[in-house]
């Protein structure tokens, strides 16, 4: 119990103004010494698995995980205790650890940072189900429902209750802040500091397009990082978006602490694209073979398909309201000046025609037929001579 209480206090530095909490902290100071010292001595934050003592649906709950503490040669199903909710309960996150019989590299697979991206969840589940711990060297840890409250209603953003209903995009919050003002920031930090970062030698954060906007199969990655490039080239998918995108995305939080990472994009939101999922499962198994976690020959890689690598995404934004008709499909090659979509008003009159300003390939398209001014209608992957600023992309 002292362990659990102390853990709670560690997490709630932002509550120290509370008299009750401050009193509890004083009461605990006497027996908190050795554990504190241990925490402080570890590099990269606290280490060691902490069991809360709770069991949910037969699965033990942890508030910190170190896969070194788990038995080798086994599959472990756990719940990670995420941020506390307004009712005083917690958002538990599902964690699957497949720990090989022999030591080796430790990979982390993440899905569910956005709540409507189902093919990313299924990709991670499929990889995990293919792993046999008895034959593995190393550990693979998977988290499939990071943004729990967003997933409960299958929507992109986390409905944060702190200041009335706010919808917060969790993939702009990493690495988070355990003392942050929103539950999303605190949840991100708890996961990053106590579950993801401590158990990752490499990490992959799986996504799809978003509701109303579908994408082709591609990976977002900084190809100037050799370890990242090596992983991404093992995927038999046709597009690579070679760009560092913006701060706050999970794969950049990993990169910032020296853990090679990137973001696969697996088609449309809300549905399972089984064919596309197979490509990403094959690529991810290749990555595990590349790191020696799994034995066996490589599957198909980028060498077996035609891959278009672009460093920029050209957005086509709606200039009017109305129904959008696409004239091209995902993955189509586009010439500069080519007409890609027309838009009609409620009378059926054409109110806008859209042409590409660049030569490239179609990476994403609005799948909701209605659009208002400013909505992205398409993204065209292309190569820009010089990079300027950060690229916004609704991953
Ligand atoms: Zn996403």
Ligand 1 centroid distance, CA of 123 (Å) = 14
Give me 28's structure tokens.
């605990």
Ligand 1 centroid distance, CA of 392 (Å) = 13
Q: What pLDDT, in 10s, does the model give residues 161-215? A: 887 889 999 999 999 999 999 999 999 999 999 999 999 999 999 999 999 999 9
Spans of the chain below 70 pLDDT:
1-46, 387-395
For 259-375, strand residue ranges (E) read 261-266, 308-310, 312-317, 322-326, 333-334, 339-344, 350-355, 360-366, 370-371
Ligand 1 centroid distance, CA of 118 (Å) = 10
Ligand 1 centroid distance, CA of 365 (Å) = 15
- Residue 219, exposed/middle/buried by CB under 10 A (0-12, 13-18, 19+)? buried
Ligand 1 centroid distance, CA of 137 (Å) = 30
Location of structure tokens 């037929």:
369
Ligand 1 centroid distance, CA of 5 (Å) = 35
Q: What pLDDT, in 10s, does the model give residues 259-298? A: 999 999 999 999 999 999 999 999 999 999 999 999 999 9
Ligand 1 centroid distance, CA of 141 (Å) = 19
- Residue 248, exposed/middle/buried by CB under 10 A (0-12, 13-18, 19+)? middle
- Residue 21, exposed/middle/buried by CB under 10 A (0-12, 13-18, 19+)? middle
pLDDT (0 to 100) of residue 391: 63
* Bond preceding residue 141 cis, omega within 30 of 0: no
Is the distance from CB of 364 to CB of 379 less than 8 angstroms? yes
Those residues whose C-beta lies under 8 Å from the C-beta of residue 277, and which sit 6 or more positions away, are 119, 122, 123, 126, 266
Would you say the pTM of this structure is higher than 0.85?
Answer: yes
Ligand 1 centroid distance, CA of 338 (Å) = 29
pLDDT (0 to 100) of residue 19: 35
Location of structure tokens 């990670």:
80
């Amino acid at each position: 119990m002292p362990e659990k209480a102390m853990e709670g206090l560690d997490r709630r530095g932002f509550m120290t103004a509370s008299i009750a909490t401050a009193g509890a902290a004083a009461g605990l100071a006497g027996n908190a010494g050795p554990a504190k010292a241990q925490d402080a001595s570890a590099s990269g934050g606290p280490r060691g698995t902490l069991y809360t003592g709770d069991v949910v649906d037969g699965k033990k709950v942890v508030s910190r995980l170190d896969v070194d503490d788990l038995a080798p040669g086994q599959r472990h199903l756990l719940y990670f205790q995420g941020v506390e909710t307004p009712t005083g309960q917690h958002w538990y996150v599902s964690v699957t650890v497949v720990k090989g019989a022999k030591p080796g590299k430790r990979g982390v697979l993440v899905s569910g940072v956005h709540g409507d991206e189902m093919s990313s969840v299924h990709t991670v589940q499929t990889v995990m189900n293919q792993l046999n711990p008895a034959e593995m060297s190393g550990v693979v840890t998977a988290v499939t429902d990071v943004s729990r409250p967003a997933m409960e209603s299958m929507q992109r953003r986390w409905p944060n209750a702190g200041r009335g209903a706010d919808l917060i995009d969790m993939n702009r919050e990493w690495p988070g802040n355990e003392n942050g003002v929103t539950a999303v920031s605190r949840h991100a930090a708890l996961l990053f500091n106590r579950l993801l970062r401590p158990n990752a030698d490499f990490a992959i954060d799986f996504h799809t397009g978003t509701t109303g906007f579908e994408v082709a199969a591609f990976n977002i990655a900084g190809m100037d990082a050799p370890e990242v490039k090596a992983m991404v080239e093992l995927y038999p998918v046709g597009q690579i978006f070679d760009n560092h995108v913006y701060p706050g995305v999970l794969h950049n939080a990993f990169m910032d602490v020296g853990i090679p990472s990137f973001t696969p994009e697996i088609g449309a939101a809300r549905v399972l694209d089984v064919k596309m999922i197979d490509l990403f499962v094959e690529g991810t198994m290749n990555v595990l073979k590349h790191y020696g976690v799994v034995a066996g020959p490589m599957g198909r890689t980028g060498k077996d398909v035609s891959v278009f690598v672009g460093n920029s995404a050209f957005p086509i934004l709606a200039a009017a309201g109305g129904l959008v008709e696409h004239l091209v499909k995902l993955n189509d090659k586009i010439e500069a000046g080519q007409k890609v979509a027309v838009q009609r008003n409620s009378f059926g009159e054409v109110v806008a025609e859209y042409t590409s300003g660049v030569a490239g390939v179609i990476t994403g398209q609005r799948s909701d037929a209605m659009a208002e001014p400013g909505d992205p209608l398409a993204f065209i992957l292309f190569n820009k001579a010089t990079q300027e600023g950060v690229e916004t992309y609704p991953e």
